[in-house]
Structure 1
Amino acid sequence: MKIAIVLNTSWNIYNFRKGLVQALLDQGHEVFAIAPSDGFSEKLSKLGCTYIPVRMDSRGANPLKDIFLIAELWHIYKKYKPDVVLQYTIKPNIYGTIAASLLRIPVINNVCGLGTIFLKDGLVSKVAMQLYKIAFHFPRKIFFQNNDDYNLFADKKLVKREICAVLPGSGINVSDFQPLQKTENQKKFTFLVVSRLIYDKGILEYINAIDTLKKNGIDARFQLLGQIDEKHKRGIPKKDIEQWIRQDMVEYLGTTEDVKQFISDADCVVLPSYREGTPKTLLEAASMAKPLIATDVPGCRNIVKNNYNGFLCKMQDANDLSEAMKRMINLSSDERNNFGLNSRTLVENEFDEKIVIDKYINSINEL
């Protein structure tokens, strides 16, 4: 079969869907990777995909650009004639589905998280819901990454329940992400946030929690790893990050193509996000047997089970986050190790990417 995979970045396909791509290629399928060009586009070609660039602005809504996106995807689908299109993230899910439906090409969609537009009940969220309702009339299958998102769509009658299923996120390659030895003998307890530096990931709450801990005499290391994204409308200005560094508030580690050693060197991985699908950063940390702290919101609470493998805290509450971080520091080494072992067990049992790959292959075979 000819199978197209459509996403908002090549980076996303390579880092989050590589296992699925490889499984499809191993079964003899021809895979088209359709996404904007970035540093990972060539890697997709080397993996064995046919890479096809597309212009797609993932940072906002521009009606004219979105109409052109429908037209561009329609031309791509018409030219390459895929037997099925697998789509992820909001723009491919909506506009790619419309384009494919015009050509009567079967679609399998994946709602990877609802993003910032669903955090507030405003005009933009209402428009997005109507677009979803129109587009989601056509897919053969719709996967969600957590029950909260699925129930929201089902309750608002944006989807037909009989074509929906909930996946354990993107899954994680538990063989690739295994516990590692630390590279340095650290005396200070180390917290790590791995995330794009946008407000909705709870970065400000993290900084404010750090400030509270420091004022209360907590001597620890606080790290940030992730891309500065000033072009995003919710992106944190670079000057603010530089100020935090000058104030010795946080260590900014930049970006990396391999997070494993950074996660390994941390004592606890934190994600104070406002809403997620199923966050890959927590899956990676859990698979590497790390204790976790995250907000009690959709997506995060799939992975962090309070007092089992970490602590949940209130959304947008720096004080509650600082209390959770303080509790983590005050645990004994054995208690933290047990949290980490529980993280690994949870991921092995519920989030192995083989579960996700099998469900996709079964859905493709049922078309």
Structure 2
Amino acid sequence: MKVLVLTADANTLIYHRGDLIRDFAAHGCEVVTSAAEDYPHVKEFVASLGGRHRAIRMVRSKVNPLKDLVTLRDMWRMFREEKPDALFAYTIKSVVYGCVVARLAGIRRVYALLPGLGFTFVKPVTWKQKIVSRISEALHRFALKRADVIFMQNHDDVKLFTEMNMLPASVPVHVTAGSGVNMEEYSHSPLDEDETLETGHVRFALVSRLLISKGVRVFAEAARRIKQMHPHAEFHLVGPFDPNPNRVEEREVHQWVAEGTLVHHGMVKDVASLLKKMHVFVLPTWYREGVPHATLEALATGRPIITTNSVGAKECVKLTAEGEQQRRDGEMLMQGENGFLCQPQNVAAVECAMEWYLAHPDQVVKQGHASRQLAAEVFDVHLVNEIILKAMHLHEAPRSTAVLCHPSPLPLAA
């Protein structure tokens, strides 16, 4: 069986879907990958599995009719030349355009994964947003009718698409727990012997693209307030600047660094090693996530989580009975077994959660173990990939005995 894996961002072929591609190859599939970039490290990874990578022209973050026509033409040519048995497409343009062109090109099986809806299905405010939203809805509705199986990453997205009549009744829908996390690559790093916690040197980290909707400004403001009361607390911002219109400007980050609020690490290749030096992971997002991959890595490493009660993000904190009541009551902070959920865009809530860990350093250790357990029970990449393999009828195929290469750590791609 020949599988063509199509996405907009080449790095995610390893960072988010590397284990799935390995599984395709291990089950005897010939794999071809395609994305907007022709990165050497991606080509090397795919080649190590006996596959090939080829780039197509695709503008990832904007709709440009002329350039999108070029994308459609490139897809058509690639599908006709490769003649895959199946298309596995993820990210918005890959799904919306890929499903339709694949059918026209005669590909027999089409699998669509929606890893997160982002801004596309957030309630529009401006007329421009409303127009873009309506166009996106129409394109998704048209494209998903061409899929054989649809994968979504949380039940809130399924509910929304069901209410909007976006999901064809004849197409099965499977929910995966995000992209999953490799529990060996992101191994447990217990904090039991960390003596710095008792001295107030708690290190908080946010790992993400630097977008406003990922809560970067909320994190910085909460850090500024905590620093005034707890000068030994540390705040680490990890991630590259982003061209997205929703970006945090470089001058803002430079100002935070200059005033001593936080440390900016920029793009980090070995995220796992960095997380092991941190104590608490923070992602105050209100972006419509699938399930944030960086948060899954922090769970696997064994770090308590401060995030928001928003779509996708809330999956990463298991609320206590008290926390569930706090959510029903609409409180700004909700207690979990492995962290806290905060109201989105609420600096005070994030500040309170940080303050709690500074006052209860022993709970950093305890909740870190709870995070690791949650990752193992729900988000292990093998559990996630098994859902996909079964839906594609690959779980019964014999596994290859070949030794599969593991890629070097990649730059952050949250």
TM-score, normalising length: structure 2? 0.84
> What's the counterpart of residue 268 of structure 1?
280
> What's the counterpart of residue 265 of structure 2?
253
Q: Is the 8 A contact 1:59 1:233 kept in 2?
A: no
Paired with 1:328 and 1:128, the residues of 2 have a C-alpha distance of 42
| Post-superposition offset of 1:283 | 0.7
Quickly say closer, same or farther: Cα 1:58–1:184, change in 2 above 3 A: farther
| Post-superposition offset of 1:184 | 9.1
> What's the counterpart of residue 196 of structure 1?
209
Of 340, 343, 356 in structure 2, the residue corresponding to residue 314 of structure 1 is 343
> What's the counterpart of residue 100 of structure 1?
102
> What's the counterpart of residue 356 of structure 1?
384
> What's the counterpart of residue 90 of structure 2?
88
| Post-superposition offset of 1:185 | 6.8
Code of the aligned partner of 1:10:
A
Compare relative contact order (CA 8 Å, sep 6+) and give the higher one, 1 or 2: 2
Q: Is the 8 A contact 1:191 1:222 kept in 2?
A: yes
> What's the counterpart of residue 296 of structure 2?
283
Q: Larger deviation: 83-92 or 117-126?
A: 117-126
Paired with 2:176 and 2:388, the residues of 1 have a C-alpha distance of 10
Quickly say closer, same or farther: Cα 1:217–1:340, change in 2 above 3 A: closer
**Identity of counterpart residues, as a percentage?**
28
Q: Is the 8 A contact 1:269 1:285 kept in 2?
A: yes
> What's the counterpart of residue 79 of structure 1?
81
Within 5 A, what are the aligned runs for 1:1-367? 1-37=1-37, 38=39, 40-48=41-49, 49-105=51-107, 106-121=109-124, 122-161=130-169, 162-180=171-189, 186=196, 188-217=201-230, 219-229=232-242, 231-274=243-286, 275-306=288-319, 307-333=336-362, 335-365=363-393
Paired with 2:195 and 2:381, the residues of 1 have a C-alpha distance of 32
Deviations 1:342-365 (A, max 9, x none): 111111111111122222222222
Structure 1 unaligned regions, length at least 5: none
Structure 2 unaligned regions, length at least 5: 125-129, 320-335, 395-414
| Post-superposition offset of 1:216 | 3.6
| Post-superposition offset of 1:117 | 2.6
Paired with 2:266 and 2:284, the residues of 1 have a C-alpha distance of 19
| Other structure's SS at 1:64 match | helix
Quickly say closer, same or farther: Cα 1:181–1:217, change in 2 above 3 A: closer
Paired with 2:19 and 2:166, the residues of 1 have a C-alpha distance of 30
Deviations 1:133-177 (A, max 9, x none): 111111000000000111111110111255111101111111221
Code of the aligned partner of 2:186:
F
Q: Larger deviation: 164-173 or 47-56?
A: 47-56
Q: Larger deviation: 159-168 or 254-263?
A: 159-168
Code of the aligned partner of 2:209:
R
Quickly say closer, same or farther: Cα 1:184–1:242, change in 2 above 3 A: farther
| Post-superposition offset of 1:116 | 2.0
Paired with 2:281 and 2:48, the residues of 1 have a C-alpha distance of 30
Q: Is the 8 A contact 2:3 2:88 kept in 1?
A: yes
| Other structure's SS at 2:235 match | strand
Q: Is the 8 A contact 1:272 1:294 kept in 2?
A: yes
TM-score, normalising length: structure 1? 0.94
